Chain A
Amino acid sequence: MPAKKEYLSSPKQRFLKVSAAILGAYFVSASLHLMLAVIIKQKEIVMLTSTFTLFLVWGALMVITFLARSGCQNLGTLYFAHNGFFINHLSIQIMKLKGLPPRAYNVLFHTHTVSGIVISVALYIIFFAGAFTLFRGEFYQWENPSVRNIKPTEVNLAKTLATIEKNAPRIDWNEDLRLIMPTQEIPLIKVFGHLIPKGKAEEHFDLHINPTNYSIQKAETTVGVTLYRLHFLGQIPILGMYLAGFVSLFFLFASITGVLIHWRNIFTKFWSFSLKNSWKQIWTNAHTVFGLLGLPFQMMYAVTGAFYVLLILILLPAVTFLYNGDTNKVYEIVRPSLALKYDEKSPKTDNLSNLKMIFEDSKNENPNLKVLYINTKHLEKADGTLEIAYKSEAPESFDNYGSVGYRLTENKKLFESIPHKNKPYIHQVINGIGQLHFATFGGILLKFLYFLMALFTCFVIVSGILLWREARNNKNYTDKQKLFHQRVTTIYLAICLGLFPAIPILFIAELGFPIGENHVFQVNSLFFLSWLVFIIWGIYLKTDQKMVKLYLLIAGLCSLLVPICNGIMTHDWLWKALKNQHYHVLATDVFWLAVGLLSLLVYSRIPKKQLAAKKENEVFVEQIG
C-alpha cells in the first residue's frame, strides 16, 4: 500500500524539505568535512576521503531532512536539537528490528517511492548499458575485425613517433601527446595529440597504429563507446552527465530509505521471493528481496557513480576554503602531472634520445608493472616532461595503478607514485574507487559477477515500477488516476525493456555499415532510432505481456543475427574463431547466440493462460482509455 496521506507534508512543506534535502544536506555534509579537515589538520586526507564519505553523509542527511515535521526546522540549528531525540529513538527502534514508528515509516516510504519512480528509467539505462560496458575491451576485437590478427607487442617509441609525424604532419609536439600501449583486448597503439591550429581554436587528432608493422589502422568503431557513453547518459549534451550523477545520488537515497522501511522484515522475508502469489506480491517480494541482497553492490555503484560525475561538488568547497581557491595545489595532490609548470619561452631541444632512454630505464626499474600509457608535453623544448602510467598485473593486487614523471633534459624524477612502494593514500583512494566501479581487479570472473548483479539490479528497478502500479490498482484510486499509473508504467517499461532488443541491433550495425567517415553516425543513428521505434511500438501495444513478448521475439532474432552477421562479414564463424584463437570474438558470438536462444525459448513458453488472466487488465485499459 502507498504511504498514508495524513503523514505527508503540504506542497509548500514539500518544497522546503526537497530543497533542504538537496542543497541543505550538501552544505552540511561539505561543512562537516571542512570542519574535520581543520580540526585534524590533515586536509589532503579528509578531502580525498570525502570523495565517498561526502555522498554517504549527504544521502543520510537527506533522509533525516524528510523526517522533520516542518521544512523550516531544516533551516535552523533547532533542527538538530529537535530531531536529536527523535533520531536517537529511531535508531533504537531500528537496532531492535522493531521497524520505524508510523510517521517515519510513511514519510520514508513516500520519499522512497517518489525518488525511486522518478529516477527509475534513467537508473535502468545506466545499469543495463553499464553491464555491457564492463566488457567494452572484450568487445573491441569483435567490433573491429581488422585488429583480430594483431598480437600486442613491445612498442618501439622511435618508430611510433616517426609514424605519427608521417601521418599527422601538422602535429604540435609541444602540446600534450598521449600514447596508449597495446593490450590483449585492444592490440593497437592509440595516439591522441594536438595539431598546430590554423585559427584560434584548438585542433586535435587521434591515430591507431599497428604495433607489428607501424601502419595506420582504421579503427573508428563504436559499440563499446556508445554503450559506455549511454551508461552515463553522455549522449545528452552537457546535462546528461550531471543528470546521471544526480540519479546516482538519489539512488543512494532510495537505497537507504528502502533499507529503513524494509528493516523489520529483513530476516523474516529474506527468502520470500515467489512466483505463486498475486502480481503485487510477486513484485513486492522481488523488489525487496533482490534489492536487499544486492545492497552492497548497489550502494557501491551509487557512491562511485556519484563520485565520477559530481566530483566538482566535492572539490569546490575544498579548493575554495582549504586551498584559498588555488586549484593547482589540488591538482598537485590528485594528479601531480597536471600541476607541472612549463615556460613557453623555453629553448628548443631534441629530447628523443632521452625519451627513449628514460622510457627503457623506467621499465627496467619497475619490472612487475606494465606500461599503460605515456604522456609527453614540450617534447621539443628544454623543459619537456614525460609521464609513464603503470598497472600491476598481479591478480592479488588491489592497488594497481601508478605513475612516474620525468624532466626529459635532466633525466630527473619529478614525481613518483608506484603501488606497494611509495603510492600515497590519496592516490590509493582514487585508484580504489576506479577499481570498484570498473571491475578491473578480479579478472573476468569479477566482470561476470558484476554483469549478473547489474542485471539483477535492473530487475529490482523494473519490479519497483510494476509494484508502484500494482499498489495503486485498488478502490482508493479513481479510474483517471489508475489510467495515469497504467500509462506511466507502460511508457517506463517500453523505454527500459526496449533497450534490450536495440543492443544486438547496435552490434549488427557495427559490422553491417562499412567503415568510413560516417560509420559512427550511421551505427548510432540506427541504434537510437530502433530503440525509439521499439518504445513507440511497445507503448502502442498497451499491455505488459504483449510488450514483453514483442521485445523477446525481436531481441531473440536480432541476437541470433549477431554471430551470423559476424560470420558473413568477416568469415570468422564460431568454429573459425575458436580455431584462430579469437577468444574474445568467440565469447561475444556465443553470448549473443545464448541470449537469442534463451529469449526465443522464454518467448515460446509464455503461457496463454497468463495472457488470459491479464485480459482483465487489458479490458480495463480499453474501457477507460
Chain B
Amino acid sequence: MNVLYLSLVSILLYYSKSKYFPLRFGDYNNSLPKWLGFLGFTIVFFCNIKKYGAVNGCLISIVLIPLAACIVPFFLQLPRIYLFLSLGLLHLFLLLNFIY
C-alpha cells in the first residue's frame, strides 16, 4: 500500500505541473522540482525489487506506476465528494497497512 501511495504522490508531482491540472486546484503552487517525482518512482522500484525480487519487483512497478498515472488525473477531475472520499479511503488503507 505504501508503494501505491508513493506512486500516487510522484505522479501528482508531475501532473500538478501540467496545463491540464484542474483549475480549482490552481492556487496550489507546486514549486517542487520535477526530479522529486522521478526520485519517488526510483524508490517505488527499489522497494518493490527489495520485497519481491528483481523480476517480480520490476513487473509490479510496471503495473503500479501506469495505474497511479490513471488514478491521479481521473480522481482529481471528479467532483469534490468523490475526490475526498477516495482520499479518505486511500489514507484508511494506508493506516491499516501500517497497523497490520
Contact = CB atoms under 8 A, between A and B. Distances in A.
A445 B51 CA distance: 12
Given A452-B67, A453-B67, A442 B59 contact: yes
A271 interface: yes
Interface string A448-471: 011011001000000000000000
B51 A398 contact: no
B56 A397 contact: yes
Given A273-B20, A397-B56, A442-B59, A293 B77 contact: no
Interface stretch (B25-33, B38-46, B68-76): B68-76
B52 A296 contact: no
A398 B66 contact: no
Contacts of B79: 605
A271 B59 contact: no
Interface string B34-58: 0000000000000000011101110
B95 interface: no
A446 B60 contact: yes
B66 A442 contact: no
Nearest to A294: B66
Nearest to A602: B82
Given A275-B78, A436-B59, A449-B60, A395 B52 contact: yes
B59 to A, nearest CB: 7
B21 interface: yes
Interface in A366-415: 394-398
A297 B81 contact: no
Given A395-B53, A398-B56, A449 B63 contact: yes
Contact of A271 (B4, B15, B56, B62): B15
Given A294-B66, A395-B51, A450-B63, A442 B73 contact: no
A272 B77 CA distance: 11
A290 interface: yes
Contacts of B64: 449
B56 A396 contact: yes
A456 B67 contact: yes
A441 B70 contact: no
Contacts of B55: 398
Contact of A272 (B20, B53, B81): B20
A398 B63 CA distance: 15
Contacts of B51: 395-396
Given A270-B18, A274-B77, A396 B52 contact: yes
B64 to A, nearest CB: 6
Interface string B1-37: 1011000000000010010111000000000000000
B77 A273 contact: yes
A449 B67 contact: yes
Contact of B20 (A271, A396, A436, A601): A271
Contacts of B53: 394-398
Given A273-B20, A296-B62, A452 B56 contact: no
Contacts of A441: 52, 56, 59
A394 B60 CA distance: 15
Contacts of A297: 63, 66
A252 interface: no
Q: Which 8 A-B pairs have the closest CB atoms?
A: A396-B53, A398-B55, A271-B18, A271-B20, A293-B66, A442-B60, A273-B73, A449-B63
7 contacts: A289-B73, A396-B53, A398-B53, A442-B56, A445-B1, A446-B63, A601-B85
Interface of B: 1, 3-4, 15, 18, 20-22, 51-53, 55-57, 59-60, 62-64, 66-67, 69-71, 73-74, 77-79, 81-82, 85
Given A294-B70, A397-B53, 7 more contacts: A271-B15, A271-B21, A395-B53, A395-B56, A398-B55, A441-B52, A449-B60
